[in-house]
Amino acid sequence: MDIIEMTRELGKALQQDERFIAYQLATQANDQDQELQNLISEFEGMRKELNYEITKDDKDTDRIKELDEGIKGHYQQIMQNPRMIVFTAAQKSLESLVTNINQIITMCANGEDPDTCEPSSGCTGSCSTCGGCG
């Protein structure tokens, strides 16, 4: 088996991991929550309108303030949604797993022993041994 085939096997194992499954289920739950989807759509619409207002030559500062407050309110509602709370936790858990995998691969590519190298749980400040910010 070559390294690409082994990587595909790793990908299959990742997709069988409980963290990946939890993330997929949380994503589906969010997608099926129409109230949440409406809030997200309204949020995105307000962001686009705010960006437009900010770039206009004749800025309407009252409208910019109104949109900014609306965006903040919608963001709070979105993030307080029980399904979004579950999704965010599942997303962080999966990202942590992928970061650890990337760190191990990077350490091995830098010559460290695959059996003993351990991913760091926090930022050391050195990008040379980091698998990426999570």
Q: In this predicted structure, what is the pLDDT of residue 36?
A: 97
pLDDT over 90 at 105, yes or no: yes
Q: In this predicted structure, what is the pLDDT of residue 134?
A: 47
Contact 40, 79 (CB under 8 A): no
The 10 Å CB-count burial string (b at 16+, else e) for 70-94 is bbeebeebbeebebbebbeebbebb
The number of beta carbons lying within 10 Å of the beta carbon of residue 113 is 8
Q: Which domains can be identified in the chain, with CATH numbers?
A: 12-105 (1.20.1500)
Average pLDDT of the chain to the nearest whole number: 92
pLDDT digits (tens, 9 = 90+) for 59-96: 999 999 999 999 999 999 999 999 999 999 999 999 99
Q: In this predicted structure, what is the pLDDT of residue 107?
A: 95
Cα–Cα distance, 93 to 24 (Å, whole number)? 12
